[in-house]
Chains A and B, each alone.
Chain A
């Protein structure tokens, strides 16, 4: 079955440190890939998306993600986190234009002052 795995439930990093959130997708075909962020009590905001082409995707708020076909991964990165980045991050995949989006279980990011 198609699935999206975010292996880290909770990550804590120091403010100013670099960040990498992991995401792996299943199935042989390359899906469309997304990262969303959710602040407490809020809806989801799209950070970035990958459909095709350049495997390094730039998003909003200084985030980027790299698609690696060989590892079935789409990890989210930021060179220097800010306290305002504390939130829940969701990776998602869509395996065709007619299929539903599958979400990972999320990674909660905490920022250490």
Chain B
């Protein structure tokens, strides 16, 4: 069966420091991958999605970037964190069958606090 992992689970970083959050998926090939942010008491905001290695689409302009160095690995990064980057970051995957919609399945999330 497919599983999705995120680490770290929690992170406290000072303003201006770099960031690297990792997401990996097991049990599937060529998944679509997604990064969402959930601010406190808010809904989900799609940040990035990827349909393949090296293929990243950005949904909103921001201080963050994403990379997909391997088929089942999705990394969220920042060179200099801002206070507004605090939030709960969720990675998700879906199939890429193309002919029908594919449900998104979410990882456990990373709680990021920028001080």
Contacts and interface: CB of A to CB of B under 8 A. Distances in A.
Q: Which label, helix, strand, loop or mixed, suits the secondary structure of the B interface?
A: loop
A113 interface: no
B103 A49 contact: yes
Contacts of A101: 46, 104
A64 to B, nearest CB: 17
B103 A46 contact: yes
A44 B92 CA distance: 9
A42 B98 contact: no
Interface string A18-44: 000000000000001010100001111
A105 B43 contact: yes
Interface residues of A, number: 21
Contacts of A43: 6, 90, 106-109
B103 A103 contact: no
Contacts of A90: 43-44
Given A103-B43, A104-B43, A97 B98 contact: yes
A45 interface: yes
Contact of B99 (A34, A44, A97): A97
Contacts of B92: 44
